Amino acid sequence: MPGARLPAEWEKQSGVMLTWPHAGTDWHDILDAAESVYIQIARAVTADEQLLLVCRDPAHRDHVLAKLVDAGVRSDRVVFALADSNDTWARDHGPITTLDEAGKPTLHDFVFDGWGGKYPAHKDTHINTALHEQMVFGDSRMRLHKLVLEGGAIETDGQGTLLATRSSVLDPRRNPELSSAQIEQRLRETLGLARFLWLDHGQLSGDDTDAHIDVLARFTDPGTIVYSTAPSGEPDHAALQAMQDQLRAFRTANGDPYRLIPLPFPGIHRDSEGRRLPAGYANFLITNGSLLLPVYGVPADREAAVILAQCFPGRRVVPIDCRALIAQNGSLHCVSMQFPAAVPLGAPG
């Protein structure tokens, strides 16, 4: 889109979207624990801005509202919408918003196919149109795209630079009919991107998204990138070390090297069957006044909080215990999607 710009996450927001877990999702065995995490997130978000909650039906909405009221969450900042869902990864099925030269928003509804067909997504991929029909975004324009793209796969500095892994954005299983060059062109046209920093390395054990960037490396300002690490001897060490080397070779639009800040290793986390889970600190969420930090009950949590507080002066760091979330292979950023301030969020009627 001519003049389109994909804003950085640290820019002013109107609110954050969550798709609430229910018994029909993979959370059914640990639903109470998952809802507890969502309540933590809801409390932190509504301290700063509005919260858009997607519930499967009116009964689910009433259940969620009662949970929030009992937890003392500010219900006056909560906007409810109804849409059934396969799962709750709003970062990947939620709309991606660009702003035009006048600051007017366009919501982009890309196809979500369960990360290259790994999981059912036939309900999730229709959530955005359902919300738009309910006028949840006011009169904001929504564009429908045939391109498969997840929000967790893209990271931007707000100035036209994309940081992403080739494996998750240029994956031939997601868009088999398009070449890498054609996908880049689609991203230029729809999201206003001008520079592409493609990572060929980087992986967290347990991640099933084909290496989404939001578990690996994030901008904290246009010249700074924080990134995940693992110590020597860990299975992820070689891939993350190779990623670090590639990050060191990247340059800003001005030709300067990026300031690179390593994030601590959060330790090894496994489920009851011994499967490795993708814990990491890069999966944080930025809101207007806060940085919501996924934590895992380990000493490195504190170190990560100190590092990111220095990266975002003026924002409070809010730790969110995400051990329940990683049981389903994602973390805090994965379940949320922010909207720029130009997107009005409001209940129908």
pLDDT tens digits, one per residue of 152-208: 999 999 999 999 999 999 999 999 999 999 999 999 999 999 999 999 999 999 999
DSSP string, 118-155: TS--TTGGGHHHHHHHTTTTTT-EEEEEEEE--GGG-E
Residue 64's pLDDT is: 98
Is pLDDT of 120 > 80? yes
Show the DSSP H helices in the chain as ranges. 31-46, 58-70, 90-93, 114-117, 127-133, 166-169, 180-191, 237-249, 300-311, 323-326
**What is the reported pLDDT for 3?**
86
Residue 1 has a pLDDT of 57
Q: What is the mean pLDDT of the chain?
A: 97
Which residue, among 218, 108, 216, 201, has the nearest Cα to 162 in the 3D structure?
A: 218
- Domain locations in the chain as residue ranges: 13-340
d(CA 74, CA 44): 10
- 285 pLDDT band (50/70/90 cuts)? very high
Does the pLDDT at position 32 exceed 70? yes
- Res 346: pLDDT: 84
Give the separation between CA 153 and CA 252, rounded to whole angstroms.
20
Name every residue whose Cβ is closer than 8 Å to that of residue 306 and which is 6 or more positions away in sequence.
Answer: none
Three-state secondary-structure class, residue 95:
coil
pLDDT at residue 10 tops 50: yes
Name the burial class of residue 340, with classes exposed (0-12), middle (13-18) and buried (19+) by CB atoms within 10 angstroms of its CB: buried
- pLDDT (average), residues 31-41: 98
- pTM for the model: 0.97
**Reduced to 3 states, what is the DSSP secondary structure of residue 206?**
coil
Percentage of the chain beyond pLDDT 90 is: 98
Position 347 pLDDT exceeds 60: no
Residue 349 has pLDDT above 80, yes or no: no
Dump pLDDT digits (tens) for 134-146. Answer: 999 999 999 999 9
Q: Are strands 259-262 and 224-227 parallel, antiparallel or unpaired?
A: parallel
DSSP annotation of 270 = B
* The pair of three-digit structure tokens given for residue 280, joined into one six-digit string: 């990491």
The dotted CATH code for 13-340 is 3.75.10.10
Q: Write out pLDDT tens, residues 296-328.
A: 999 999 999 999 999 999 999 999 999 999 999
Assign 348 a pLDDT band (cuts: 50, 70, 90): very low
pLDDT per position as a tens digit, 72-119:
999 999 999 999 999 999 999 999 999 999 999 999 999 999 999 999
pLDDT reading at 125 higher than 80: yes
